[in-house]
A and B are shown apart, each in its own frame.
Chain A
Amino acid sequence: MKLAVGVAGTAKNTGKTTVLRVLLAEAAAAGIPVGLTSIGYDGEDLDHVTGLPKPRIAVPRGTWVATAQTALRPELEVAESTAVETAVGRVALARAVRPGRAVLAGPATAGGLTEVIARLHRRGARLVLVDGAFGRLAPMTAADGLIIATGAARHREPKLLAREAGAIATLFRLPRWPGDGHPRLRVSGPGGERVLPYPALLDPAWADELAAEAAAVGAREIHLPGSVSREALGRLGSQLDGPLKLVFSHPLHLLAPGEPLAVAEALAALAGRGFELGVERGLSLLAFTINPRYPVRAGGAYQWRAGDGGRLLAAVRQAAGVPVSDVVAEGPAVVWAEVQRLLGRQ
């Protein structure tokens, strides 16, 4: 019955704050108690980088907000403090005693987010909305569902944007093989199990070591927790023979290096050679949202420009395999329906 949904962006200015505002309004209209936090910092009037005005986060009365004490506004009344630290101070849980604005400064890590979500749930928030930051995704492993905001600020070319969205969606469709969450590279086969001291596949040299161990035990299964670098993954793949299961930890870990197209292509190549691919854990990718506007630097200052919203939307829809919407042009229905569906399912 209780749920946490993250709203992340593939880049800045892809409109995640707008999506968050829409979801807040819909939840309020549906009478669903909401908790709100962020994995970064949001809610200022102007963007840190571009100096452009940003949409404000309006919170209805009764909303629970987890934000740094230093970011609290008068309409928020503190109920409890936490030990979760941010770069602007310790996170507190507060309730909007009247409608107002929120400046969100929340837990930057998955561990901190897990704790904050649990506390918001305990306070009665049925739906916790988690604001993403700067294209960062990895802490969202603490959420149950994810909405990804993308658009012209990420890529102006519709085909490229669509290919990338498709690649991201592919990762979320990987089969889930629940495992023990062991945090090291590991191979197992008829010859036994070998664990390497590395928490991720970040170095081609580590890939070589792993391949050697795989050969030594006649590996049937390789566990690859954490993120993978494209180079190391290619290096590993080139030294392996099937049939073999490659088990990754989480789709968001695969996305962390910020190269979804490259990672998806590398995985497709491995699948093409008969390897079975899966993840130990995952979360539901609920929808993509599209923002056709993007900032450009003109003279000394940034200005907004508008891309072709229709073309962007059509292209991403064709590639994504999940609902896609421009919440400004089309309203909140598509995205909100996905959140409701997940709420019903939980």
Chain B
Amino acid sequence: MKARDRVLDAIDVEAFLLAEDEETARRLALTLMEELGLPGADVVFLEWRGTGARVRIRSYAHRPGDDYAWLGGGERGG
């Protein structure tokens, strides 16, 4: 089982992104998650003020209704 499989639901990334405007910050936030290999990201919180943005970006490892890897199915794959 990968560590990621043991994430109950979501992975949040907290950061401060330097960006000239809010739109850029939003785009950077999603690009960052792609670069980190965290797909389907959503910007949970973003506040931009002057030089950059405080962001919280989320990627779900398991959404309700998914096949939950933490149920043990993932262990077989070793």
Docked Cα-Cα span, A45 to B22, in Å, equals: 11
A51/B63 in contact, CB under 8 A: no
Nearest CB on B from A6, distance (A): 25
A45/B40 in contact, CB under 8 A: no
Interface range, B side: 10 to 19
8 Å CB contact of A300 from B26, B27, B60: B60
Docked Cα-Cα span, A46 to B26, in Å, equals: 8
B1-42, CB < 8 A from A: 23, 26-27, 30, 40-42
Q: Name the CB-closest residue of B to A45.
A: B27
For B23, list chain A residues within 8 Å (CB): 44-46
8 Å CB contact of A301 from B26, B27, B42: B42
**Best-buried of A46, A51, A299 by chain B (most CB within 10 Å):** A299
Binary contact readout A22-49 vs B (1 if CB under 8 angstroms, 0 otherwise)? 0000000000000000000000111000
Q: Name the CB-closest residue of B to A300.
A: B42
B35-60, CB < 8 A from A: 40-43, 58, 60
For B27, list chain A residues within 8 Å (CB): 45-46
Docked Cα-Cα span, A51 to B60, in Å, equals: 17
Docked Cα-Cα span, A51 to B33, in Å, equals: 14
- Given A300-B40, A301-B40, 18 more contacts at CB 8 Å? A45-B23, A45-B27, A46-B26, A46-B27, A46-B30, A51-B26, A51-B30, A51-B42, A298-B40, A299-B40, A299-B42, A299-B60, A299-B63, A300-B42, A300-B58, A300-B60, A301-B41, A301-B42
